[in-house]
């Protein structure tokens, strides 16, 4: 398992820092379909938000909101600009935040252990001597746990050489004193568009990407369809089915990309499309192979065997008239059982399928 | 298996590192979309004391479509047939991609605690359940002892 863990971030990353309530905040920014941070989020008419790609793909299956099951339509999805900005902002801050909160929780623990009864102002603890809450009671400290508060609540008159802090708006470093007294106000009052170009939150750029429309394939000749694909710089090889699903997949990728405030270059989308198509091919090959080698031949063998067995049993039954019905029934169920794992989980190992048979043969 | 969606990786990770009480789900080494599942029979149900094996498979379209789940251990239950197939709304029409493996397994555990003979899959069992409930519960208990209790 451990080999692929590092690439995946999860709300639970915050569970062991000094502000475990960030677990909830982190998960709020994620899409309920892919569990990743929302990419180009869109709002449904019922007020829920998903990645544009995810909800568009799901609506092909079912025209319902995954959270509240209300009927929704793709045409009514609206981009959710603020959420996208919040997500981008949080993603940028995440690693730093996590690191700081983890370090501080260690310092905090050490201090708490050292002074159980009375909280004293300890000048040796670097991080905490900045805190307003240091002079307050133990109860207050335990509630706040020093985490977020230690990040944001600084003394109004800090020491002469103040440590640097990062402005939450423009992400630049300033001495805390400057940050608190003047910079944040200044930063907040500067309109978004006039801000520095290395602002943490991307501006809502004017892009020229127009949404694509769904095609009525029934009224479209092969040549016209190929022309349409070529115009989008997409491959035009493959059979009619492939052409149509290629267009449909690209339509989703493209339209979802239009919902983003930082749309990707069409080249990136075409690469994604190619990846999707090769994964489809991979899956198909896999299925075919499995069914050819294992599935079909096994199924046929089993069917033949059990037919033979039934016949033999029927012959036997003429001699001793035991309960034929129940034997037949059992045979049928054996057949169905041995077919079932192939349907349900094509790649179940042989050992497992013998397990199934044993279980159901009882 | 070159491209396992991150969502599946994440769910697997959490199932292993922070398992639901009374439920285990371990992915097969050959196919990370196939899980070996066990569910403990809920307390105060006829399945108490039993450990039921299930198989769970995530189709290619997951999470757009529901996982496929089936009991491998024989069980006497009005909503589970003799092939182990489960009649549960969230596995069919009420599936939503906002649900996950964890929630599905919890629903199945809840189904063991509250059999619903009015929406049967195993007709004979459901009939028995409706007509002679005490007897049916006793049979369920016997089956649990016979098939789901490991020595």
Q: Each residue of B112-143: pLDDT tens digit?
A: 999 998 888 888 899 999 999 999 999 999 99
**Which residues does chain B have within 8 Å of residue A14's beta carbon, measured at their own beta carbons?**
none
The per-residue pLDDT for range A19-58, each reduced to its tens digit, is 999 999 999 999 999 999 999 999 999 999 999 999 999 9
Quickly state the pLDDT bin for A176 (edges 50, 70, 90): confident
Q: Is the Cβ pair B3, A356 closer than 8 Å?
A: no
Contact across the interface for A333 and B83, Cβ inside 8 Å: yes
Asked whether residue A354 carries a pLDDT value surpassing 80, the answer given is no
A153/A132 Cα distance (integer angstroms): 7
Instruction: Give whole-number Cα distances, A140 to A31, A133, B81, in Å.
Output: 35, 8, 57
Query: Rounded distance, CA A121 to CA A118, Å?
Result: 10
Indicate yes or no: CB of A33 within 8 angstroms of CB of B10. Answer: no
Three-state DSSP at A264 gives: coil
CA distances from A289 to A119, A284, B35 (A): 69, 9, 21
User: Do the chains contact at B5 and A34, CB–CB below 8 Å?
Assistant: yes
Q: How many angstroms separate the CA of residue B115 from the nearest CA in chain A?
A: 22
Yes or no: say if B128 and B142 are a contact pair by the CB < 8 Å rule: no
What's the pLDDT at A295? Answer: 55
CA distance B85 to chain A (A): 10
Catalytic residues of B: 87
Interface of B with A (CB under 8 A): 2-7, 9-14, 16, 18, 28, 30-31, 33-34, 55, 57, 60-61, 63-65, 68, 70, 72-74, 82-84, 94, 96-98, 147
- The first and second tokens of residue A317, run together, are 């039954």
Residue A350's closest chain B neighbor by CA? B30
Query: Worst-scoring range by mean pLDDT, A174-183, B2-11, B119-128?
Result: A174-183
Q: Which residues of chain B does A283 touch, with a Cβ-Cβ cutoff of 8 Å?
A: 60
Residues on chain A touching B58 (C-beta within 8 angstroms)? none
Residue B80 region by backbone torsions, left for phi larger than 0, else alpha for psi between -120 and 50, else beta: beta
Whether ipTM tops 0.85, in short, is no
Shortest Cα–Cα distance, A284 to chain B (Å): 10
| Residue-level length of chain A | 362
pLDDT of residue A314: 59
Tens digit of pLDDT for each residue in B45-89?
Answer: 999 999 999 999 999 999 999 999 999 999 999 999 999 999 999
Regarding the domain with residue range B6-148, which homologous superfamily does it belong to in the CATH classification? Ubiquitin Conjugating Enzyme (3.10.110.10)
């Amino acid at each position: 398992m451990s080999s692929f863990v590092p690439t995946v971030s999860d709300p639970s990353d915050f569970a062991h820092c000094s502000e475990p309530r960030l677990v909830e905040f982190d998960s709020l920014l994620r899409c309920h379909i892919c569990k990743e941070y929302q990419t180009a989020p869109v709002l449904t008419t019922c007020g829920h938000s998903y990645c544009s790609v995810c909800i568009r793909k799901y609506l092909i299956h079912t025209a319902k909101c995954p959270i509240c099951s209300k009927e929704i339509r793709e045409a009514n999805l609206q981009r959710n600009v603020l959420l996208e900005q919040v997500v981008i902002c949080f993603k940028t801050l995440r690693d730093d935040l996590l690191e700081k909160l983890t370090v501080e929780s260690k310092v905090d623990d050490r201090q708490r252990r050292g002074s159980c009864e009375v909280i004293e102002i300890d000048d040796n603890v670097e991080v905490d001597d900045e805190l307003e809450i240091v002079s307050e009671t133990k109860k207050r400290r335990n509630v706040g746990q020093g985490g977020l508060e230690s990040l944001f609540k600084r003394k109004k008159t800090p020491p002469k050489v103040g440590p640097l802090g990062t402005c939450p708006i423009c992400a630049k470093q300033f001495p805390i004193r400057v940050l608190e007294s003047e910079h944040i106000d200044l930063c907040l009052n500067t309109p978004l568009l006039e801000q520095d170009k290395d602002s943490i939150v991307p501006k809502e750029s004017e892009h020229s990407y127009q949404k694509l429309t769904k095609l009525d394939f029934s009224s479209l000749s092969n040549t016209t369809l190929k022309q349409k694909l070529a115009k989008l710089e997409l491959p035009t090889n493959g059979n009619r089915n492939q052409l149509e699903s290629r267009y449909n997949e690209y339509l989703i990728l493209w339209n979802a990309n239009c919902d983003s405030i930082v749309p990707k270059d069409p080249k990136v989308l075409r690469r994604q499309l190619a990846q999707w198509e090769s994964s489809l091919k991979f899956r198909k090959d896999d299925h075919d192979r499995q069914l050819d080698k294992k599935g079909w031949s096994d199924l046929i063998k089993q069917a033949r065997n059990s037919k033979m067995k039934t016949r033999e049993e029927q012959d036997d039954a003429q001699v001793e008239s035991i309960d034929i019905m129940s034997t037949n029934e059992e045979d049928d169920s054996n057949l169905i059982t041995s077919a079932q794992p192939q349907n349900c989980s094509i790649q179940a190992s042989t050992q497992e399928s013998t397990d199934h048979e044993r279980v159901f043969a009882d | 298996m070159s491209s396992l969606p991150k969502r599946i990786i994440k769910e697997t990770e959490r199932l292993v590192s922070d398992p639901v009480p009374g439920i285990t789900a371990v992915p097969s080494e050959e196919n990370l979309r196939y899980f070996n599942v066990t569910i403990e029979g809920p307390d105060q149900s006829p399945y108490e004391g039993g450990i039921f094996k299930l198989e769970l498979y995530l189709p290619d379209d997951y999470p757009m479509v529901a996982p496929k789940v089936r009991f491998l251990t024989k069980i006497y239950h009005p909503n589970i047939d003799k092939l182990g197939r489960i009649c549960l709304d969230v596995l069919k029409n009420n599936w939503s991609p906002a649900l996950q493996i964890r929630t599905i397994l919890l629903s199945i555990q809840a189904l063991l605690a509250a059999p619903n003979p009015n929406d049967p899959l195993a007709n004979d069992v459901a009939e028995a359940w409706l007509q002679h409930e005490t007897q049916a519960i006793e049979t369920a208990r016997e089956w649990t002892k016979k098939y789901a209790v490991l020595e």
